[in-house]
């Protein structure tokens, strides 16, 4: 949703790179571009004015003038001010000391309240709570049925004593306030510690809507009132938020449809205008497309700095610890990385959700946005299908997969042989890299060669990096112009060649004499002996 804003801000900050000192003209130009980017993104005008004022005030002060890198300092200031616009600190639900905690959802029709109710219930259930959904939207056709389906998907109970209406021709007859009171009483009897009340909405703000929402809140004593707002509705988001804040005095905001392609900047204004924090964000139709809203992380995403913390939290919540420990042990024991292992890792990644979304959380994702848009999550399913079409022997020993086997695998998985070839080639490269990393970067008896750092002391070949060794292989040492010195160098070179040949003969270069080795002497994975016969 914030792609356009992110691209504009990133382009603006590129002009500040490498400048040892920022002039007043530089700061004015940067502020002007940021103002245009925010206004184009539908951020409310009063919010933009206050934001620019604070940024310019801080950028003109000592905070930037005395900084070693003024450009980066301005980016830091913009990041901190964006966090302020989005609410400042992360705010989660405040649970009642005496259960049940009553949460009421309010908002316009079409904002996604009913879908969100199921997502919120699923989220709370995963945290160890026992939520109950209460269907109080009795005027939208099939709203009660939709909530029941959402509750069934989330695995939580739904209290719906009134069926609501099934078409626009019907006249609503139920009393939403009475249903809400009965729902809270039912939760107390059945020991539910959280009650989530789904209320009715309208296409626009009206007095009847506000009175009904206020009556439900008063009758149930709601501890949290969440205003659900469609992030795609533009500038009207601010007016709607102000009306609901005056009518029901909500305690927090939930942004829905953040996966849309609208400019979405009005959503950035809600917290600033109403003074109420954004608590949750909904990014799709799935139950898992729901997350706690962290202002600092969202600001980093907008500035294309990535959101590694959310990525780690998502991995921790879905990753199988037993499988991770198994892979870690296999890596430490320098066992071969097989296609069975590769398939297991792919399945773990699928549990985390859309790969496109996960890659979008990486720093610098804006630079590869076109590739991300073209990425198809179904490619993972095709790769898994190819591996499933192999025999256990082929998965554990992919080198035996010849042309006829590749044709059979392609036919069994419904893909072209070229896709099987590409998978095997990429897997071979990945397996080689993992084996090299497990062996310490190919430096026997020494520390692993870390990326970008060269060889550690004690590494093979006297601590030289492989890159330097390879560079030296192709070059011959220049002969000296002195005949006596040239003869001496020739004798030393011949002596080195003879020593190297002797080492190859007796196996001392590997630290042991060459002899007959049996499979029992090797540290092979269990069951691999049969592949040596």
Model confidence pLDDT, tens digit, residues 233-290: 767 778 888 888 888 889 999 988 877 655 667 667 888 888 888 899 888 778 888 8
Q: Is this prediction's pTM over 0.85? A: no
Model confidence pLDDT, tens digit, residues 181-209: 999 999 999 999 999 999 988 777 778 88
Strand (E) or helix (H) holding 325: helix 321-332
Indicate if the alpha-carbon torsion angle 123, 124, 125, 126 is positive or negative: positive
Q: Is the pLDDT of residue 145 over 60?
A: yes
**How far, in Å, are 101, 159, 164, 381, 462 from residue 115 at the CA level?**
20, 16, 17, 27, 63
pLDDT in the model for residue 447: 35
Candidates 227, 228, 271; CA nearest to 248 is: 227
Domains along the sequence of the chain with CATH? 3-85 (1.20.120.140), 101-305 (3.40.50.300), 314-438 (1.10.260.30)
Q: Which residue has the higher pLDDT, 367 or 46?
A: 46
pLDDT in the model for residue 220: 92
Q: What does the pLDDT average to over 160-185?
A: 88
Q: Is the pLDDT of residue 33 over 70?
A: yes
Candidates 524, 333, 511; CA nearest to 438 is: 333
State the residue for tokens 């021709």.
169
Q: Is the pLDDT of residue 294 over 60?
A: yes
**How does DSSP assign 110-175, residue by residue?**
TS-HHHHHHHHHHHHHHTT--EEEEE---SSTTHHHHHHHHHHHHT-EEE-SS---SSTTSPP---
Q: Which residue has the higher pLDDT, 367 or 221?
A: 221
Provide the pLDDT confidence category of residue 474 given band limits of 50, 70 and 90.
Answer: very low
Q: Are 386 and 424 in contact (CB under 8 A)?
A: no
Q: How far apart are CA 1 and CA 261, in angstroms?
A: 5
Task: Return the percent helix, strand and coil in the chain, to nearest 5.
Answer: 55, 10, 35
Average pLDDT for the chain? 76
Model confidence pLDDT, tens digit, residues 119-139: 999 999 999 999 999 999 988
Q: Are 154 and 141 in contact (CB under 8 A)?
A: no
Provide the pLDDT confidence category of residue 472 given band limits of 50, 70 and 90.
Answer: very low
Say how many residues make up the chain: 533
Strand (E) or helix (H) holding 414: none
Q: Is the pLDDT of residue 416 over 80?
A: yes
Candidates 370, 361, 358; CA nearest to 306 is: 361
Q: Which residue has the higher pLDDT, 440 or 170?
A: 170
């Amino acid at each position: 949703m914030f792609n356009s804003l992110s691209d504009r801000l990133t382009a603006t900050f590129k002009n500040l790179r490498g400048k040892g000192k920022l002039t007043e003209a530089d700061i004015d130009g940067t502020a002007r571009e940021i103002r245009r980017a925010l206004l184009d993104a539908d951020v409310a005008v009063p919010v933009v004015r206050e934001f620019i004022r604070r940024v310019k005030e801080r950028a003109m002060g000592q905070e930037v003038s005395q900084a070693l890198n003024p450009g980066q300092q301005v980016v830091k200031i913009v990041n901190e001010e964006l966090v302020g616009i989005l609410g400042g600190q992360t705010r989660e639900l405040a649970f009642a000391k005496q259960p049940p905690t009553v949460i009421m959802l309010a908002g316009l029709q079409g904002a996604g309240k009913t879908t969100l109710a199921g997502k919120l219930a699923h989220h709370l259930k995963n945290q160890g709570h026992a939520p109950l959904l209460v269907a109080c939207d009795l005027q939208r056709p099939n709203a009660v049925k939709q909530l029941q389906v959402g509750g069934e998907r989330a695995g939580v109970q739904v209290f719906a004593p009134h069926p609501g209406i099934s078409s626009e021709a019907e006249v609503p007859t139920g009393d939403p306030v009475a249903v809400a009171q009965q729902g809270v009483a039912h939760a107390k009897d059945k020991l539910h510690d959280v009650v989530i009340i789904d209320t009715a909405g309208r296409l626009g703000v009206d007095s009847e809507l506000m009175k009904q929402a206020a009556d439900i809140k008063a009758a149930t004593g709601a501890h949290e009132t969440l205003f659900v707002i469609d992030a795609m509705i533009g500038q009207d988001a601010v007016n709607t938020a102000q009306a609901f804040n005056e009518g029901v005095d909500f305690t927090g905001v939930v942004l829905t449809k953040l996966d849309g392609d609208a400019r979405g900047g009005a959503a950035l204004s809600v917290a600033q205008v109403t003074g109420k924090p954004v608590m949750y964000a909904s990014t799709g139709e799935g139950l898992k497309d729901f997350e706690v809203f962290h202002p600092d992380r969202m600001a980093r995403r907008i500035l294309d700095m990535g959101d590694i913390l959310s990525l780690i939290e998502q991995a921790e919540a879905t990753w199988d610890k037993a499988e991770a420990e198994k892979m870690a042990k296999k890596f430490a024991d320098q066992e071969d990385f097989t296609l069975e292992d590769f398939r297991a890792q792919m399945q773990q990644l699928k549990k985390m959700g859309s790969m496109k979304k996960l890659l979008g959380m990486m720093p610098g994702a804006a630079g590869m946005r076109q590739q991300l848009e073209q990425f198809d999550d179904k490619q993972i399913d095709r790769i898994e299908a190819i591996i499933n079409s192999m025999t256990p022997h082929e998965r554990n020993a992919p080198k035996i997969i010849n042309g006829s086997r590749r044709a059979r695998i392609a036919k069994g998985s419904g893909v072209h042989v070229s896709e099987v070839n590409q998978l095997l080639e990429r897997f071979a490269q990945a397996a080689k890299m993992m084996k090299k990393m497990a062996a310490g970067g190919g430096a026997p008896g020494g520390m692993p060669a870390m990326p970008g750092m060269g060889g550690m002391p004690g590494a093979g070949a006297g601590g030289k990096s492989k890159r330097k060794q390879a560079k030296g292989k192709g070059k011959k040492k220049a002969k000296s112009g002195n005949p006596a010195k040239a003869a001496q160098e020739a004798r030393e070179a011949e002596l080195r060649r003879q020593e190297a040949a002797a080492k190859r003969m007796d196996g001392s270069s590997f630290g042991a004499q060459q002899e007959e080795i049996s499979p029992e002497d090797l540290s092979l994975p269990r069951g691999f002996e049969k592949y040596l016969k």
